[in-house]
Amino acid sequence: MQLQSLREQVLHANLEIARRGLAPHTFGNASGIDRSGSKPFVVIKPSGVDYAALTPADLVITDLDGNIVDGSLRPSSDLQTHTLLYREFPQIGGIVHTHSEFATAWAQACRPIPCLGTTHADYFHGPVPVTEPLAAEEVASGYVRNTGAVIVRCFRSGKLDPVAIPGVLVAGHAPFAWGRGPAEAVEHADVLEYIARLAFYSVLLGAPETGIPGYVSAYHYLRKHGPKATYGQQ
C-alpha cells in the first residue's frame, strides 16, 4: 500500500468520526497501518486538531515503536495504544477510538454489551467485552501503552478473536474498534455505538441480559461472515 493512499484513507476515517457524531470536539482518532513493506508504518491523527481542519499532510506517520517518520505535528496521545494493538493483532489494518455516547456509557459502567438481538449478531460474534480497570501501577508506568495491554489481556484471557469481535470497551474510558482497514474500523465504531444504544434501551425495557439464543446469534454472524456467507452479493 502506498503511504499517500493510506493517508487519504485515514483522513477519511477521521472525518467520518466527526460526521457520524462519534466523538465531540477533538476527542477520538483513527489510524491505519501499511504492512506491505519490510517495515510497517502507521498513519494517525495529530493530537488535539479539529476534524474540520485536518488535511492529509497533517497526519503523522510513525513506525510500530511510535517513532515519528514523517509529520510536523504531535501524533495522537493514544498512539501507543494503537501501535500495541497493531503488534498484537496482526489481522487488523485500521483502528478507531471514539467517545461515542452510549458505548462510552457502557464502558463507564464497566459492563459488557450483551448480544440482545440480531443487529448485534450481524457484526459481533458474542458480547462486546469490557476490560478490567487499569491498576495504579499501570497508569503510573505507562497509561496509554497499558490501555492497549489491558485490551490484549481481555482478548487473550477470554480466548476472543479480534476479527469476530471487532471492538472493545475500556473500563471507565471509552470504546476502541478496528477492521481490515480504516474504513471498516470506522464502520465498526459506528455499529458499536448503534448496538450500545439499542442495548441500553432494551435493558431499560426489561430485556434479559442473557441475550438471544447462541444458535440465533451464530446463524446471523455466519450468514454474513462465515465461509458459506449468503448476505450481500458475491
Residues acting as catalytic residues: 122, 231
Give 198's contacts (C-beta < 8 A, 6+ positions apart). Answer: 116, 117, 119, 120
Residue 172 CB-density burial (10 A; 0-12 exposed, 13-18 middle, 19+ buried): middle
Give the span between the Cα atoms of 82 and 66, in whole angstroms.
Answer: 9
Contact 176, 96 (CB under 8 A): yes
Contact 124, 106 (CB under 8 A): no
Give the span between the Cα atoms of 104 and 78, in whole angstroms.
Answer: 16
For residue 95, which of 142, 8, 162 has the smallest C-alpha distance?
A: 162
**Which amino acid is it at 162?**
P
Give 222's contacts (C-beta < 8 A, 6+ positions apart). Answer: 228, 229
At residue 42, the 3 state secondary structure works out as strand
Q: Which residue's entry shows cell 493510506? A: 6
Give the span between the Cα atoms of 166 and 176, in whole angstroms.
Answer: 9
Contact 135, 109 (CB under 8 A): no
Which residue(s) pair with 33 in the sheet? 42
